[in-house]
Amino acid sequence: MNMETRHVLKRLISMLLLYFSFFISSLLL
């Protein structure tokens, strides 16, 4: 696995977490 792929993967995971937390908060409210 090269560095570029790793960087993209990290970005994807962080975005996914962001959307997930937003979804959870909207469910709670």
The whole-number pLDDT of residue 3 equals 86
User: Residues 16-27: pLDDT tens digits?
Assistant: 999 999 999 999
Q: Is the pLDDT of residue 1 over 70?
A: no
Portion of the chain with pLDDT greater than 70, in percent: 97
Q: How far apart are alpha carbons 12 and 27 in whole angstroms?
A: 23
Q: Side chain identity at 16, as an amino acid letter?
A: L
How does residue 14 score in pLDDT terms, banded at 50, 70 and 90? very high
Residue 29 confidence (pLDDT): 82
The residue among 6, 5, 26, 7 whose CA lies nearest residue 18 is 26
Average pLDDT over residues 3-7: 91
Q: Identify the three-state secondary structure at position 4.
A: helix
pLDDT of the residue at 2: 82
